[in-house]
Chain A
Amino acid sequence: MTYSSFFVSEFLVLWRRKQDVFNALLFFIIVVALFPIGINSSPDFLAPAAAGIVWCAAVLAILMAVESIFKEDYLDGSLEQLVVSGLSLPLLILLKVAAQWLVVVLPLLVIIPLLSEMLYLPSSGFWVLIMTLIVGTPSLFFIGVIGAALTVSIKQGAMLVMLLILPFYLPVIIFSTLAVKATQSGLPYSGLLAMLLAMSLLSLVISPFMTAIVVKASVN
């Protein structure tokens, strides 16, 4: 096994599971649609709330996608093979998360223009929203993958992952929505983007090692 052959096989598996990715995307859209339907569909409410709605939906969709990232590998024994491969387990996990991020977030970004139109997001906020998604979502994946590893041996672990991980997502949601709100009221937002970037980098450094510890303890 090499790092590149692992990365390629990860993409192949994700390609064969494209229905799951598509489902995550549909889930994302339907959660967004819940807000205008359930609360208020007037532009006065939606325009300032748009970024928050998109982020809440994105957080849920991403956590649903990340939650099962190790499940199949755990059941078929390939997770064990990663541990004994002699390659660096944190690096393999990093590659796995990177592949998953590309496959989940890129379609999500493609759908954002449509959704921001539906939520009456002013064009000034649109690009900032895109930027917060690009800069902020890696930390969601890196934090979420710890939860996925913690619960990989539990049969019905999805709810537990939600309970464990969602509190850690609050800062990302707060920084992102504040950044979009700041542009809408003409304030600088670069500091908030920097915070998001810092969170992504910090979790990129810490999470693979933590996840590796948990994965090693889980496969036995």
Chain B
Amino acid sequence: MGKRSRQIRRLTRQEFLLMSAGAGAGLALAGCGGGSQNNPAVQGQGGSGGGGTEYTGPTVELAFWNGFTGGDGPFMRELVDQFSSEHENIQVSMSTQEWADYYESVPAAVRGGEGPDVGIMHSDQLGTNAARGVILPLDTVAESLGLEESDFAPEVWNAGIYNGQRFGIPLDMHPLALYYNKSLLEDAGLDPNSPPTNRDDYEAALEELKSSGIQGSWVSPFPFTGTLQFESLLWQFGGDLYDEETSKATFNSDAGVEALTWMVDLVQNDYSPRDVAQDAEFIAFQNGENAFHWNGIWQINAFKEVSDLDWGVAPLPRIGSEDAVWSGSHNFVIMQTSDQNRIDASQVFINWISQQSIEWARAGQIPARASVRESQEFADLQEQSTIAEQVPYVRFVPAVPGIGDVQPESFDQAVNEAVLLQKEPKTALDEAAQRADQILEENREKYEA
């Protein structure tokens, strides 16, 4: 009963053998140095290699790990295959596992010398992995690739910096959005082409839907999508998750209570069923039982595959006093190694994919580079570019080390307890904030020690 099976797609035996055979023992030896934060080999490498755009060394096999288990995985795999076929001396093999497992196994794999060369990490994971010596500083990479702050959304760009050094090359942003079922709106006598944009309209629409027998806005008590909705609302009501120094939780402010109360009221007012299970709001939307669904941009392709579903997507309505929306961001990282050839080849790979980010946008992402976002090709991706209208006010979880430990122990639980009507929003948030403060304190001690 304690058996635990993990949904990992490990390297296949063949991939692993190829990797070790092709590249010699470099990888295995390279990983032994874990723990040090600054790798001199990387710091001094500015002039070597092809400056990040060209690699002329011996053939290397790069392992690229990520958590693209959804509809985005095949898009990335195709890009990787294309890259490998265009580069004689760099072969990349991609492995995918669930994000939660990925963040657990990558540090151990890198430390054990069997980790990947290149990986993807969310912006709020960069601080943790930088502090733990899992990933390398990439200032010189960013420089040699000619990446500039002005080309990126400032919050995304800054999230990659830890202790004054850059650790991540931003690939995309993936905010929350409002998916709506056009047929349900039409049946309720609403305009299927103009979804609500503010609180009054949203609530009025829900009332209309209710009178036509539809619970219009299912609220999930789980992190996906309940917590994402809570975070967006918290920011909309003018609150924030933590204080300026990320040393104290502030999500139990009046704004937080208002945000969570609004979600609970959706349940109390019968706009959402009680006890929504994991993914039930998503399934109900696909089945035409849920009219408004707050979910991430990454679901575009999933909904496109559902025949008979007449849907649209829009920026989140403004429920609070200002525009705001939760967003995550994928970043390229290079894992700890002292093998210069691998670092050079990894740079070439990152640069190449980064330039194909319009292809990646098709997978359901907003490119991190402004130049790509402003291109005609991106404007042609109707859903993606609609969601990208939110870019001026996207908000991110701060990237301080250990921040990933706080959420599951604090506001994830508060949202769960409140939405399942087990606790009052304020009580749940106050208790969660107390717990969050303890973890933040622990983390400060831990990472500053």
Chain A bound to chain B: no
